[in-house]
Amino acid sequence: MLATKLRSNFTKTEESNNHADNRLLAALSHKDFRLLLPDIELVALPLNKILYRCGDIIRYVYFPVDSVVSLLSEVEEDRSTLEVGVVGNEGMTGIAVFLGVKKSRNQMIVQGAGTALRMKAADLRKHVNGGGRLQFLLQLYTHALMTQISQSAACNRYHLVEARLARWLLATRDRLDSNEFRQTQEFLSNMLGVRREMVNKAAGTLQKQGLITYTRGVLTILDNAGLEAASCDCYRSIKEEYDNFLN
Amino acid sequence: MLNAVNSRDARANRLLEKLPQEDYTRLSPSFEFVNLALGEILYHSGDEMAYLYFPTTAIVFLLYTTESGATAEMGMAGRCGVLGIALFMGGKTTPNQAIVQIAGGAFRIKAKIIQDEFERGGAMQHVLLRYTQSLITHISQTAVCNRLHTFEQRLCRWLLYSHDCLQTDEIILTQEIISHLLGVRREGVTVAAGRLQDAGVISYVRGHIRILDRQKLENCACECYAVVKDEYERLLTL
């Protein structure tokens, strides 16, 4: 039903450039986008849904519209996880499919509920075969994603948990377009790759500085400028990379 | 007994080895052999890249530089890999610095030629895309490793990777290079290398590391080595 609604929306807005709210797809021409249309459907992604785990065959790729998906590395020795990247409306989950690989090496989990356009992995392969604009856009996106993952590697090496938490909160705010969101300590601990007590302590520090409040699983950003000052420079570098890679 | 890699054989690079003869023959006139010197920088972050490099005996380290100037390890590429994938990913500049950690040979090819070859959509494109996926895994795993593992474990991982590339038990690595690339103080390098030496894993004399016991070295490394290697082998054998 959502898919039907989606298609009628596309018809209605065909004259505008805003034919898809995923920016990667929006960078396609109308003609190219129309070729994809029979193979995409709009789906709702609930909070904390795991799209795939490490080792799973990737059945679908997702182009987030207003949802946000975290890319996590799983640590084999203790089954813990660490966020190495985020996919929002600038990108696509399951880049491995584009790179010719069937299985995921990462876990993908929804960190911001919302909608996404999804396509079967086989259909994506069909559409990128033979080159064209979609292939080129996915190449650019792969490059931007790798830059983001590299930045995470550096950030994890050098920056304190408070700075990383501040960065994570700002990035989430930007993608969800909201100063308030619900997150459990456990989830944050999985993102930041530190124990829950460390998350608690870092959140406490930011709270004492009047930058956020964190009560009953609801995070509220009180002071955006202050939080930016508390964050590491990784926040701004990644944001710039993502804002610019489609230009 | 390991067979040392011939630096002047382009097919010693495992990605080039994967190419069908026909594709290789077409491209081989465009390859140029170069000797890469220790510490040579192939490109700085933000540089436009003129060449793609396929190492044979050289090993190149990828460093990420943060805005404040701190550097961190991201990955490495020896004869299992290629340098400059941003070239065929449509980004003209690279976010990383590529610095030679082990001097040796490589074959380079001009950016324009590799871009045209990539556009053909043949075997080279397939190999390069799959290598990109394995590099994404490598960098993601480095993010985990940088967060969770000790310097000694990281050093072991690094030596194992170098050992796989070089196929010789002796690796020339000064404390300065290790300290610069892995982002630790020289005393830290001395302590970690000393411990591995005491445990009979390596010997370390005047910048020459000799791997004495490969199995023990694997036991001392973190899981990251196996994760990255398994993924690479899986992706490149299919």
CA A4 – CA A26 distance, rounded (Å):
19
Q: Residue A240 domain-assigned? A: no
Shared domain check, A148 and A192: no
In this complex, do A98 and B141 lie within 8 Å of one another by their Cβ atoms? no
Residues B183, B188, B194, B199, CA torsion sign? negative
- Comparing A158 with B40, the larger pLDDT belongs to B40
Q: Which residues from A are below 8 Å from B133, CB to CB?
A: 95-96, 99-101, 105
Per-residue model confidence as pLDDT tens digits over A23-44: 999 999 999 999 999 999 999 9
Token pair recorded at residue A55: 């080792």
Q: Residue A144 domain-assigned? A: yes
Nearest to A154 among B72, B135, B223 (CB): B72
Contacts of A16 (CB under 8 A, 6+ apart): none
Q: What is the mean pLDDT of residues B151-177?
A: 88
- Provide the residue type at A110 as one letter: V
CA A18 – CA B224 distance, rounded (Å):
43
Q: Provide the pLDDT confidence category of residue B3 given band limits of 50, 70 and 90.
A: low
The pLDDT value given to residue A12: 40
Q: What is the mean pLDDT of residues A110-120?
A: 94
In this complex, do A73 and B231 lie within 8 Å of one another by their Cβ atoms? no
- Comparing A13 with B94, the larger pLDDT belongs to B94
Shared domain check, A97 and A47: yes
- The CATH number given to whatever domain includes residue A182 is 1.10.10.10
Q: Residue A220 domain-assigned? A: yes
Token pair recorded at residue B102: 């082990």
Q: What is the mean pLDDT of residues A184-191?
A: 88
**B85: three-class secondary structure by DSSP:** helix
- Comparing A157 with A92, the larger pLDDT belongs to A92
- The residue among A156, A189, A207 that closes a domain is A156
Shared domain check, A114 and A6: yes
Shared domain check, A106 and A127: yes
Q: Which residues from A are below 8 Å from B91, CB to CB?
A: 140, 143-144, 245
CA B113 – CA B126 distance, rounded (Å):
16
Q: How far is B143 from chain A (nearest CA, A)?
A: 4
Nearest to B89 among A101, A143, A193 (CB): A143
Q: What is the mean pLDDT of residues B137-165?
A: 89
Q: Is residue B130 over pLDDT 80?
A: yes
Shared domain check, A178 and A106: no
> Would an 8 Å CB–CB cutoff place B121 in contact with chain A?
yes
Mean pLDDT across chain B: 88
CA A30 – CA A128 distance, rounded (Å):
16
In this complex, do B136 and A95 lie within 8 Å of one another by their Cβ atoms? yes
| Number of other residues whose CB lies within 10 A of the CB of residue B148 | 19
**Domains defined along chain B, listed by start:** 10-147 (2.60.120.10), 150-221 (1.10.10.10)
Q: How far is A5 from chain B (nearest CA, A)?
A: 35
Q: Is residue B86 over pLDDT 90?
A: no
Q: Which residues from A are below 8 Å from B72, CB to CB?
A: 153-154, 157-158
The pLDDT value given to residue A20: 67
- Comparing B91 with B59, the larger pLDDT belongs to B59
Q: Is residue A62 over pLDDT 70?
A: yes
Q: Provide the pLDDT confidence category of residue A94 given band limits of 50, 70 and 90.
A: very high
ipTM rounded to 2 decimals: 0.85
Contacts of B142 (CB under 8 A, 6+ apart): A153, B73, B74, B75, B224
Shared domain check, A13 and A64: yes
Shared domain check, A32 and A145: yes
Q: Is residue B61 over pLDDT 80?
A: yes
Residues B186 and B176 sit within 8 Å (Cβ to Cβ): yes
**B8: three-class secondary structure by DSSP:** coil
CA B22 – CA B39 distance, rounded (Å):
35
- The CATH number given to whatever domain includes residue A141 is 2.60.120.10
Contacts of A37 (CB under 8 A, 6+ apart): A7, A10
Interface of B with A in 17-56 (CB under 8 A): none
| Number of other residues whose CB lies within 10 A of the CB of residue B163 | 19
CA B189 – CA B195 distance, rounded (Å):
10
Q: How far is B144 from chain A (nearest CA, A)?
A: 7
Shared domain check, A169 and A133: no
Q: What is the mean pLDDT of residues A235-243?
A: 81
Instruction: Identify the top-confidence range among A20-29, A40-49, B94-103, B140-149.
Output: A40-49
Q: Residue A118 domain-assigned? A: yes
In this complex, do A156 and B144 lie within 8 Å of one another by their Cβ atoms? yes
The pLDDT value given to residue A16: 40
Least confident range from A239-243, B34-38, B109-113: namely A239-243
Q: Is residue A204 over pLDDT 90?
A: yes
Question: How many folded domains does chain A comprise?
Answer: 2
* Boundaries of domain holding A210: 160-231
The pLDDT value given to residue B1: 41
Q: Is residue B160 over pLDDT 50?
A: yes
| Number of other residues whose CB lies within 10 A of the CB of residue B200 | 10
Count CA atoms closer than 13 A to A53's CA, side-chain side.
6
Q: Residue A151 domain-assigned? A: yes
In this complex, do B70 and A101 lie within 8 Å of one another by their Cβ atoms? no
Residues B48 and B92 sit within 8 Å (Cβ to Cβ): yes
Q: Which residues from B are below 8 Å from A151, CB to CB?
A: 64, 66, 95
Q: Residue A238 domain-assigned? A: no
- Comparing A73 with B207, the larger pLDDT belongs to A73
> Would an 8 Å CB–CB cutoff place B149 in contact with chain A?
no
Whole-model pTM: value is 0.87
DSSP string for residues in chain A = -HHHHHHHHHHHTTTSS-S-SSHHHHTS-HHHHHHHGGGEEEEEE-TT-EEE-TT-B--EEEEESS-EEEEEEEPTTT--EEEEEEE-TT--S-HHHHTT--B-SSEEEEEE-EEEEEEEHHHHHHHHTT-SHHHHHHHHHHHHHHHHHHHHHHHHHH--HHHHHHHHHHHHHHHHT-SEEE--HHHHHHHHTS-HHHHHHHHHHHHHTTSEEEETTEEEES-HHHHHHHS-THHHHHHHHHHHTT-
**B71-83 in b/e burial notation, b at 16+ Cβ within 10 A?**
bbbbbbbbbbbbb
The kind and range of the H/E element at B101 are strand B96-102
Q: Which residues from A are below 8 Å from B65, CB to CB?
A: 154
